[in-house]
Structure 1
Amino acid sequence: MFAIRGATTIGKNNSSEIKAASIELFGKIIEKNELDISHIVSITFSCTDDITAAYPGKYIRKYYNLHKVAIMHFNEMNVENSLKKCIRILVLCNGERVNINYVYLKDAISLRKDLINK
């Protein structure tokens, strides 16, 4: 089993931005990892407490037809001066992988500057 991490941010707390950002993030994870979605076991989302308009996984499940994949949502820790309006994702997959490409988009790039240009 292997795990792929990623994160993105939204500008406004509304369902259309949550949907667009979530689908974009998950799509980039699939693309950059050449991921066969049939190997996905579960997806965990965490969101900062300023994201309340919708569940990101709702859109991923529908858009990618992942009706048999376990999807959970949690609140991110509320740490002083941390990134706001941030959606984080953890995708667990069956199989083995040596090279995993984590995906950080928009303002979430600041979370993993060590991954830029990799």
Structure 2
Amino acid sequence: MIRGIRGATTVHRNDGDEIIAETEKLVLQMIEANQLVPEQVASVLLSVTDDLNAAFPAKALRTIEGWAHVPVMCMREIPVPDSLPKCIRVMMTVNVDIPQKEVKHIYLREAVSLRPDFSLTRDENS
């Protein structure tokens, strides 16, 4: 079955190291929460708000063991007025045998405000 797993986080500033580190933290939590292996992942789309351009967040996935061949693409979010700033969003398309309601979506830091109903984890370092 094909399922989508959502996730989002924020960074404090437009810094390449922070963008990559926070993206890696988010993706690792998505992997762990949903017990994923790279072969289950069809693709990963990552978006950033207009105020983030210091690094491609997709670079974070290349540091995760076994993920070198997973197709990844970065893009810009629609610049909606008053939307959450400095935000990185993830849409992971996976092949898993679990019901839709059992998919665990992960929202960290200030991104918890986007979907508090799906937020399983609050990052204490935000």
TM-score by length of 2: 0.87
Describe how 1:51-62 pairs up with structure 2 within 5 A. Answer: 51-62=52-63
Q: CA RMSD in A?
A: 1.5
- Rounded to whole Å, the distance in 2 between the matches of 1:65 and 1:14 is 26
Percent identity between matched residues is 36
Which of 83-92 and 61-70 deviates more?
61-70
What secondary structure does 2:47 align onto? strand
Superposed CA deviations along residues 23-45 of structure 1, whole A, max 9, x for unmatched, are 10001101111112221110000
Change (3 A) 1:45 1:116: closer
1:34 corresponds in structure 2 to 35
Residue 44 of structure 2 is aligned to residue 17 of structure 1: no
- Rounded to whole Å, the distance in 1 between the matches of 2:5 and 2:41 is 10
What secondary structure does 2:33 align onto? helix
Unaligned 5+ residue runs, structure 2? Answer: 122-126
1:72 corresponds in structure 2 to 73
What secondary structure does 1:52 align onto? coil
- Rounded to whole Å, the distance in 1 between the matches of 2:79 and 2:43 is 24
Kindly provide the amino acid, as one letter, of the partner of residue 63 in structure 1: I
2:107 corresponds in structure 1 to 104
Kindly provide the amino acid, as one letter, of the partner of residue 53 in structure 2: T
2:6 corresponds in structure 1 to 5
Which of 1-10 and 61-70 deviates more?
61-70
Runs in 1 of length 4+ with deviation above 3 angstroms? none
- Rounded to whole Å, the distance in 2 between the matches of 1:106 and 1:63 is 21
What secondary structure does 1:79 align onto? coil
1:116 positional shift: 3.8
Select which of 103, 116, 123 maps to 1:113. Answer: 116
What secondary structure does 1:113 align onto? coil
- Rounded to whole Å, the distance in 2 between the matches of 1:64 and 1:110 is 30
- Rounded to whole Å, the distance in 2 between the matches of 1:52 and 1:109 is 22
Kindly provide the amino acid, as one letter, of the partner of residue 32 in structure 2: E
